[in-house]
Structure 1
Amino acid sequence: MTEVDLQKEIRKIIVQELIPDMKIFETNTFKGFLQDIPLDLGYGDETEIVDKNVPCCIVKINAGEINGASKPETVTVEIIIVIKDESEDMSGYQTLMVVINRIRDYFTANVGIQNKYRMKYPIKWGINDNTIAPYFVGNLITQWDIERMPFHDIARFL
């Protein structure tokens, strides 16, 4: 049970469980990335690169904290959501809020993941104030307690 395992579980829940039944996106178009959107080594037009990766979520490990040798590690995970909405009324923020609410409500109802990770309150969320239409960006910030891996187990990952 590592920070990266937690990150992968959160992405899996969002992409495979929470988003597929939402009618606001075409089937199988919502992508999930770990830490950042992948580089496009074709160096195409920036808009093309963004468009082929949106709508998406980016699950980022932001920080960790250990407050004692026998205590679990607290890991901060940020979930960034990016959508594209070209409607003239600039209503993309509403779609963004639907996604934020779906994720927030899931983690409020299911405070843990597979009996391995326990979420801590508060859940923080926000919407980017900068106008970058037709793209709308929001995020959720969560904190999780995870049991730390014994030092001798780390060798198997090296």
Structure 2
Amino acid sequence: MVPILLQKHLVDEVLPKIFEGTKFLNTDNEKVNINFYKQYLPKKKKDIDIFPFVNVILLDGEEQSKDTANTAHILFMVGVYDEDENNQGYQDSIIILNKIYQHLREKELFDSKYVIDYPVKWMTNDDVTYPYFYSALETNWEVAKVLQTNENLYS
């Protein structure tokens, strides 16, 4: 399943490059690098702070025919922490989404196998979750087909 390789590429290569040197607050109110996760956030532990984060989630995929590219539907879930009582932490989450979106649109082709496609949709969490703020970017991708079996593909 090639979409899992797209997810890995986004988390290991693309996102760290986009946010190199960019810091946001963690729950100790320290400026730290963004954490990047695949599919699920780590289990809660007292000594691990997951905020701020971008979680890259494989939602679904499809193959319409043998002659067309496979598609993958990927969600970028952003979480930030902000204790400011003005309740404006959502702005940091949107800034993160915008940086991701701008990079995806500027580059479009990733790892010579993945093409960002339309539609792209963003959303914020309208529940009150202060001091935690969440937003998401839904993306669609064309994914190259694997035409032969390769046992080493996923290692």
Say whether the fold is shared (TM-score over 0.5). yes
Structure 1: runs of 5+ lacking an equivalent: none
| Structure-1 residue corresponding to 2:2 | 2
Whole-angstrom CA distance in 2 between matches of 1:19 and 1:58: 14
SS in 1 for 2:4: helix
What is the root-mean-square deviation of aligned Cα atoms in Å? Answer: 2.2
Q: CA deviation at 1:113?
A: 0.5
Structure 1 runs of 4+ aligned residues shifted over 3 Å read: 154-158
| Structure-1 residue corresponding to 2:109 | 112
What TM-score do the two structures reach when normalised by structure 1? 0.84
Q: How does 1:56-135 map to 2 (within 5 A)?
A: 56-135=53-132
> Is contact 2:24-2:52 (8 Å) kept?
no
| Structure-1 residue corresponding to 2:40 | 36
**Structure-2 change in CA distance of 1:134 and 1:146 (3 Å):** same
Structure that is richer in helix per residue = 1
Whole-angstrom CA distance in 1 between matches of 2:153 and 2:22: 40
Report how many aligned residue pairs link the two structures: 149
Is 78-87 or 91-100 further displaced after alignment?
91-100
Q: CA deviation at 1:24?
A: 3.9
Is 16-25 or 138-147 further displaced after alignment?
16-25
SS in 2 for 1:97: helix
Is 74-83 or 106-115 further displaced after alignment?
106-115
> Is contact 2:24-2:34 (8 Å) kept?
no
Q: CA deviation at 1:151?
A: 5.2
* Percent of matched pairs sharing the same residue: 23
**Structure-2 change in CA distance of 1:85 and 1:116 (3 Å):** same
Whole-angstrom CA distance in 2 between matches of 1:52 and 1:22: 17
Q: CA deviation at 1:39?
A: 2.2
What TM-score do the two structures reach when normalised by structure 2? 0.86
